[in-house]
Structure 1
């Protein structure tokens, strides 16, 4: 498979100027990964000339499956190689590896049709050096500047995006299901994000809403409402068959709901 360092970055300017960095967050099990994948799909179709990067920041690497990507290398693989050299006392080799980290990161990008993909991998293990983690996060930030759109599928919470990926996002999309627990989690994430993550715009998207009338029972505590997604039988079928979301019908509830949210955010 071709690497992005040889194709996506082989000359030319970005199509849309300053990168829009879209982070998707919420409690576990609310459909963040499916929504992140649909955002990538909508962007690739709406902006075929744009440079789009999908970052899978969940250790389960679910976004890779949703987008049909085969992951060969993760950021964690690069981190471990550097840390192992330091722990073995091979400082010269570790310094050289750190110096080459930027190239290694670009090599870790998987080029797909219309977008590039980067997997962060597992959380930092005990003993990993903060300097290494900070440097690699800075590399991701520099890398993101090469793209028009960056979509981050994070694990539950928001601290991990700040700690392991980047400190600034332009759009924070908070995903909840129609439950008080889901609502409480996005409210907590919003409060944490206000302290830890620099973002420009945020909003709430309700997934798996059985009927529109239920919205009156949901208190978003001031978080702007972006829309809702009804139960999607086509998505369930795709999940069962192991198909990726890029092939989901345009008539799906997921496509309609995510499209509405992106429109309200002025992304499409």
Structure 2
């Protein structure tokens, strides 16, 4: 399984890129895909058209109730049954959807994160999926909470602003500090003027990251955003779709 984690400062378009990459991988059909919406805002599920399914947060509540109601069962047995049901409910055409959901009570994600890590470990052991795409929270918080575990490819979406480019540096530093295993770092430019792309590419190379290219401005996304459509409704010749295909080609080259 190839695990792809998508990171970036809020507003740079990491969720959009996650959806575009998933669309292209699903089109190629060279392995099952598990999409993990690990952002509490659940934007990825909405952009893919798979919102409304149960999430890990709700699963945690069912898990707690069943532990109280069925003390004869082990926690692992209960969790396994609930997780299998969650994956079945998240089955979509071309991919499966797993939504993390919101935190408990005042916002603590600790128990949810423990379950999410267990989900990753269980998934990695099997051969059901060829790709796991994880749309992470904005900034570096997701790595700081150590919910990412192991990531083969960290894909960081950025614009040319100083704040966004500084995030590139912090993500690598925080990953190292908390012990998150990331094999390769990639950078994709978005919401960036053509004359500023060289700045993004140079920053990526200076950090030892591979620059994959840029997502161009695409008027078709206006229709997706305001007419309730999904990324799968974009035409094949849409500028963002064409760019995503090229990015996937470079990504799979390693």
Q: 2:23 aligns with which of 41, 46, 55?
A: 41
Tell me, in whole angstroms, the C-alpha distance in 1 between the residues paired with 2:104 and 2:146: 9
Q: Deviations over 1:100-146 (max 9, x none)?
A: 11221121121111111110111354697967753552133212443
Q: CA, structure 1 residues 208+120, in 2 after alignment: closer, same or farther (shift >3 Å)?
A: same
TM-score by length of 2: 0.84
In the other structure, the counterpart of 2:81 is 103
Q: 1:76 aligns with which of 39, 57, 67?
A: 57
Which blocks of at least 5 consecutive residues in structure 2 are unaligned? none
Alpha-carbon contact 2:144-2:174 (below 8 Å) kept:
no
Q: Deviations over 1:186-241 (max 9, x none)?
A: 22112212333212111110002222x22233333422211111211111221111
Tell me, in whole angstroms, the C-alpha distance in 2 between the residues paired with 1:73 and 1:158: 26
In the other structure, the counterpart of 1:123 is 103
Tell me, in whole angstroms, the C-alpha distance in 2 between the residues paired with 1:65 and 1:111: 15
1:29 shift after superposition: 1.0
In the other structure, the counterpart of 2:129 is 147
In terms of mean alpha carbon deviation, does 56-65 or 115-124 score higher?
Answer: 115-124
In the other structure, the counterpart of 1:174 is 156
Taking the TM superposition and a 5 Å limit, the aligned residue runs for 1:187-206 are 187-196=169-178, 197-206=180-189
Q: CA, structure 1 residues 129+173, in 2 after alignment: closer, same or farther (shift >3 Å)?
A: closer
Q: CA, structure 1 residues 162+99, in 2 after alignment: closer, same or farther (shift >3 Å)?
A: farther
3-state SS of 2:252 partner: coil
Tell me, in whole angstroms, the C-alpha distance in 2 between the residues paired with 1:92 and 1:155: 35
Alpha-carbon contact 2:142-2:148 (below 8 Å) kept:
no
In the other structure, the counterpart of 1:6 is none
Tell me, in whole angstroms, the C-alpha distance in 1 between the residues paired with 2:143 and 2:49: 23
TM-score by length of 1: 0.80
1:182 shift after superposition: 1.1
Which blocks of at least 5 consecutive residues in structure 1 are unaligned? 1-18
Tell me, in whole angstroms, the C-alpha distance in 1 between the residues paired with 2:236 and 2:98: 26
Higher helix residue share:
2
In the other structure, the counterpart of 1:216 is 198
